[in-house]
Amino acid sequence: MLVVDDQELVRSGLRLILDAQDDIEVVAEAADGATAVELARRLRPDVVLMDLGMPGIDGIEATRRITQRAEAPAVLVLTTFDLDRHVYDAMRVGATGFLTKTVGRSQLVEAVRGAARGETLLAPTTTRRLLEHFIAQPPPGPELPPAVAALTERELEVLRLVASGRSNWEIAAALFVGEATVKTHLNRLLAKLGLQNRTQAVVLAYETGVVRPGAGTAKPME
């Protein structure tokens, strides 16, 4: 994985924690967004742990550039801030998870593992603020956007379950199908909607009214 933060002490601490795990290897560090984009392109890590507040190309723009590439790594945002604007900007451009720097060591490690598995991970405070935002918005109209309306019934089912925070194996159990079938449906609906990952699918599901606040939330860290 790749660790990105403009503070050397923070990067060193994160690397020490993560490299201590048998199943995690930090292949490089970056102190700014431009370097992060280049290292992600060259080294192809499975996960990028991304700071947002950096000089020059910030973490949000770096995330956008990284996730635009084919077979992009999962980008897990780790930041001092817990603000709606940062949450939405990071999620919209392709971040798969969002944690604050107050997160515990074990939570950080599990978040990295979850990101590598393709899970959507949000800190509890982030999940709450995200839902509060959607609750405060006017309800969507009765008509679904054309791209969403073009999904099959099964793809819509998968989208709703993704938005409720279910993992692939949980979706497979709910629909009585195999995980490979779930992955196929998920890949197809992401392609139809022009999305990079399931986190963007969660945002779109709430924005379009496929799911409503209270019907399901993205999976929080415990």
Give tens-digit pLDDT for 68-125. 887 889 999 887 766 666 777 888 888 888 888 888 899 899 999 988 987 777 655 5
Domain extent for 191:
141-208
pLDDT value at residue 125: 58
Residue 222 predicted with pLDDT over 60: no
User: H or E segment at 33?
Assistant: helix 33-43
Q: Are residues 46 and 7 in the same domain?
A: yes
Residue 174 predicted with pLDDT over 80: yes
The CATH code of the domain that includes 203 is: 1.10.10.10
Q: Are residues 92 and 59 in the same domain?
A: yes
115-141: b (≥16 Cβ within 10 Å) or e: bbeebbbbbeebbebbbeebeeeeeee
Rounded average pLDDT over 38-63:
93
The CATH code of the domain that includes 96 is: 3.40.50.2300
- Per residue in 129-148, pLDDT tens? 665 565 555 555 566 778 88
Is 216 strand, coil or helix?
A: coil
**Domain tally for the chain?**
2
pLDDT above 70: percentage of residues in the chain: 82
